[in-house]
Structure 1
Amino acid sequence: MTSSTDLMARGKHARRQCPRASQALLGDIRRDPLPLIEASSKGRVKALVPLRYGRMLVSPFTFYRGNALLQAHDLAGTPNMGLVTPICGDCHLMNFGGFATPERNLLFSVNDFDEAHPGPWEWDLKRLVASFLIAARHLRHSPDTQERVCREVVGAYQQSMTESSHLGALATWYNAITYDDLIGETQSKATLAHIQRTMDKAQRRTHARLLPKITELGEHGQLQIRDDLPQIFHLHKKSSLLDANDDWLRMNNWHPLYAAFERDYRPTLQGDRRALLDRFTVQDLAFKVVGVGSVGTRCLVALLTDEQQHPLFLQFKEARRSVLAGYVKQKNPWRHEGQRVVEGQRLMQAASDLFLGWTRGPTGRDFYVRQLRDMKVSAELETFDAETFTGYARLCGRALARAHAKASGMAACISGYIGKSDALADALFSYATGYAEQNERDFEAFQKACRDGRLQARSEADFAADHLP
């Protein structure tokens, strides 16, 4: 077994072939963004692709969030130190947040793993730093704040990776960021208020609170999910946005679909969690549109209830091939894309959803499964002042380092490469500045394509208006 001293030396040695200053390079950006954007829409529900484009069209920030494939293509042309580990793959600042452990403790970590895949750890850090700069510009923070948040992300990653390099394997595995920790560490009154509000919000985001918001009684008194276009719709009703020839519509109703999901899903759970799932009976299944980048991929919400009519909402989310798959030499070790997502999440998070698992649909699509909404919270960036936004940057950098250290077991090697100076921070601020400008150019090309009719973009209001009674 390689010692931490040897790993540290290996990281330092990697600077010879990949100087830290070279991390400022933008990669393969001499390309037309439109074919990549169009490629990322293939295989999605056709009627929802315009909604995806409509959400991306809101700002350069939503555009950046909505198309991870574009940056994956560009990152493939950048230098890296040669260490391939499990990474998030879509590591922007809105893919971090709070969630409950099975013991109902509230943790903060990376919380989206749709693109999880082996890759250079630098790719996650670069996407995160660039997202902070793009968001800071969108929110009209000062140039000083823009630079500061980028440097704080890298500095926190650097410090946390150094700390992790001195921990044993078990300590690294159990290492977590709790909201109680954050309260104890925070000095700013404004930031403390944000943390407390987030904790209070998380406590309210339960299945019981969600029940009256998205369900209603059907004609025969049964509990069912309420259609709310374009966000939620039933597959076999007139409100369905699926194509007329969609393979799911060939089924008479949703029951065979759910039965196929459940059959493959149950074996992926631990025995005690299968026993818990068996105490619930499914009542309804509906399509739910989620996120920015995920719009048009298949996502279903199942409503289950126990014998006392207490609810459980399970989300079945389509797991497509990772955007990184075509750009890294190391292949995905999992044959099932849902398993790829789940195993990535289990590797990178300190604790994961009680019902996290994977399944395959009746027509061959892969899915992963988790609870819907249960105590999950995200940052409300629009309410952050400069100090709170900077604190959030430190928090995300720290959380990413812990995720990488846990998943890779190579904290000493990464720490050895980064070192103690500002060399990497200087390079990644330069990278973020250059990539934010590239993102603006790509956004302008995307806007023009939407205006010219090459791409069709529609707003939520457009969809809702089309289906008014």
Structure 2
Amino acid sequence: MAEIQSLETRQAFGRAAREQAKRSLHAKVGNVDRDPVELLQQNSAGRVEALVPLRYGRMSVSPFTFFRGSAILQAHDLAETVNTGIVFPICGDAHLMNFGGFATPERQLVFDLNDFDEVAPGPWEWDLKRLTASLAIAGEHMGIGRGPVSDFVATAVHEYCDRMREYSQYSTLDLWHEIVTFERMIENAESDEGRRLLLKAREKAATRTNESMLAKMAAEQEGRWVLQDAPPALFHPGGPNSLLGEHEAWSNTHAWQNKLDAAFNAYLGTLAPERRALLGQFALQDVAFKVVGVGSVGTFCLVLLLIDSHGKPLFLQVKEARESVIARYFTSDVPAHQGQRVVAGQRLLQAASDAFLGWTTGPAKRNFYFRQLRDMKISAEVERMSNTVLQGYARLCGWALARAHAKASGKAVEIAAYVGNGDRLADALTEYAFACAAQNEKDYDTFMHACRSGKLEARSDEDMAADFRV
């Protein structure tokens, strides 16, 4: 077993990290000597060809949606900045829209990180930089002045530092069991408006269940539930609305069914025995391809509809896992299986993870992970927030990120010693956030020029849906 170091030794290590990574140096945006379009094209390689224009179309909506879909650019830029040397599995894409509410297996509604496609070992500050940059970019997109945006960023950083100092006092087991529930958030809300929105979000979450999706996404036909095509967002891989190329051979339903059966059985092997027994009480009804998010568009993503003997549904999402952009630009050991990388990272960072979280290898040797498609999942409507609410949301994100990092790393003592009272780090990251926002604007302009010139094809959901209307 590992030798336990004293708290004094760990604190000294954290303070010593300031020598190799002065906190003021976190203001540097990094190496921006690159072609953003070329990197995005590299990141699109291997995706469903017909869906890449939709990915670019969703990214083209605003500088903020562009930032959400271009994690590869920030990872590239940060690779040549100083880092603290305190490394552990980080989220890798901790922008403000990748936090949200969902139900634990015990049916508690919690607030936490909820996207782990890019999870990999990396410097903890990369996650905090992505969060602060997203606050600056979203704030500028919403037309909020520089002063309030600075407050949002500083609030997130100070909350992160304050919580990390708090967690540095927790015992190992107390920290492992720490969870940010909606009840705690409501109690800690600093404005009546924020408290009302949290109560409303809790009510909304209660309606976002597997059962509520059934009537919206499927119809019963001859005693069997069938998912309803709604291209480009949802379609049957081998059906007339499919956007998959002929080389994928989805039209050979029997051959692919056998491959999917094998992949599902391999997934079951990654679950605990009681979870396998639970899934054994459901029967598969239908499988469809579902396009989700912004950055994930074009990756292989399926939705499985299962039904129990009472006619109640379970929707499972099967999402392709590709190489993490963090692993690409920060060398470290990661599992060879990308789905296992995502699942292991999610289980480590989240306070409580999906009961059906697991991984498998699918057809064409693609790596996948499983999770529920919707289980009281809710996300923030950032663009509709007032300044007061957005500042409160920044605080919640800082809290949730600190909890995730403290649990995953076991290094809350070291990080707390490094950040100190948080003032210097907040100043540096505020400068960084605005610099990153300015660079993102330049990259967005370059990207939009490539779309307008025809170098990249960008299409909206509405444009692509029109292709299927009679």
TM-score in terms of structure 2 length: 0.98
Spell out, residue by residue over 1:405-457, the C-alpha distance to the aligned partner (whole angstroms, 9 max, x if none): 00000011111111114100000000111110000000000000000000000
- Partner residue in 2 for 1:397: 398
Cα contact 1:229–1:464 (8 A) shared by 2: yes
Separation of aligned partners in 2, 1:153 and 1:184: 18
- Partner residue in 1 for 2:419: 418
Spell out, residue by residue over 1:331-377, the C-alpha distance to the aligned partner (whole angstroms, 9 max, x if none): 21x12111100010100011110111111103211100001111111
Secondary structure at 2:100 match in 1: strand
- Partner residue in 2 for 1:46: 49
- Structure 1 segments of 4 or more deviating over 3 A? 247-254
- Partner residue in 1 for 2:37: 34
Spell out, residue by residue over 1:31-86, the C-alpha distance to the aligned partner (whole angstroms, 9 max, x if none): 11111010010010000000000000000000000011111100101111111111
After superposition, residues 127-146 of structure 1 pair within 5 angstroms as 127-146=130-149
Q: CA deviation at 1:255?
A: 2.7
Spell out, residue by residue over 1:371-422, the C-alpha distance to the aligned partner (whole angstroms, 9 max, x if none): 1111111001122111110000010011001100000000111111111141
- Partner residue in 2 for 1:190: 193
Separation of aligned partners in 1, 2:384 and 2:166: 31
Structure 2 unaligned residues grouped into runs of 5+: none
Cα contact 2:91–2:116 (8 A) shared by 1: yes
Cα contact 1:8–1:412 (8 A) shared by 2: yes
- Partner residue in 2 for 1:317: 319
Cα contact 2:158–2:422 (8 A) shared by 1: no
- Partner residue in 2 for 1:458: 459
Question: What count of residue pairs does the alignment treat as equivalent?
Answer: 467
Q: CA deviation at 1:307?
A: 0.8
After superposition, residues 23-422 of structure 1 pair within 5 angstroms as 23-218=26-221, 220-252=222-254, 255-332=257-334, 334-422=335-423
Spell out, residue by residue over 1:281-325, the C-alpha distance to the aligned partner (whole angstroms, 9 max, x if none): 000000000000000001000000001111000000000111112
Separation of aligned partners in 2, 1:32 and 1:94: 26
Secondary structure at 1:325 match in 2: helix
1:440 partner amino acid: E
Separation of aligned partners in 1, 2:384 and 2:56: 26
Q: Percent identity, aligned pairs only? A: 52
1:356 partner amino acid: L
Separation of aligned partners in 2, 1:337 and 1:49: 21
2:276 partner amino acid: R
Distance 1:254 1:313, change over 3 A: farther
1:68 partner amino acid: A
Secondary structure at 2:121 match in 1: strand
Secondary structure at 1:284 match in 2: strand
- Partner residue in 1 for 2:12: 9
Cα contact 2:317–2:370 (8 A) shared by 1: yes
Q: CA deviation at 1:328?
A: 1.2
Separation of aligned partners in 2, 1:240 and 1:256: 20
Separation of aligned partners in 2, 1:380 and 1:269: 34
Separation of aligned partners in 2, 1:431 and 1:382: 22
Separation of aligned partners in 1, 2:60 and 2:120: 28
Q: CA deviation at 1:186?
A: 1.5
RMSD of the alignment, in Å?
1.1
2:306 partner amino acid: L
2:436 partner amino acid: Y
Separation of aligned partners in 2, 1:321 and 1:440: 26
Spell out, residue by residue over 1:256-285, the C-alpha distance to the aligned partner (whole angstroms, 9 max, x if none): 243122111111111111110000000000
Separation of aligned partners in 2, 1:3 and 1:187: 37
2:426 partner amino acid: A
2:183 partner amino acid: D
Q: CA deviation at 1:192?
A: 1.0
Separation of aligned partners in 1, 2:278 and 2:256: 23
Separation of aligned partners in 2, 1:148 and 1:120: 24
Cα contact 1:216–1:223 (8 A) shared by 2: yes
Cα contact 1:247–1:363 (8 A) shared by 2: no
2:35 partner amino acid: D
Deviates more, 1:1-10 or 1:60-69: 1-10
Q: CA deviation at 1:142?
A: 2.3
Separation of aligned partners in 2, 1:133 and 1:66: 16
Separation of aligned partners in 2, 1:132 and 1:123: 14
Separation of aligned partners in 1, 2:25 and 2:345: 28
Separation of aligned partners in 1, 2:450 and 2:458: 10
Cα contact 2:320–2:368 (8 A) shared by 1: yes
Secondary structure at 1:140 match in 2: coil
Secondary structure at 2:287 match in 1: strand
Separation of aligned partners in 1, 2:260 and 2:283: 11
Q: CA deviation at 1:12?
A: 0.6
Cα contact 1:214–1:226 (8 A) shared by 2: yes
Separation of aligned partners in 2, 1:170 and 1:463: 50
Q: CA deviation at 1:250?
A: 4.2
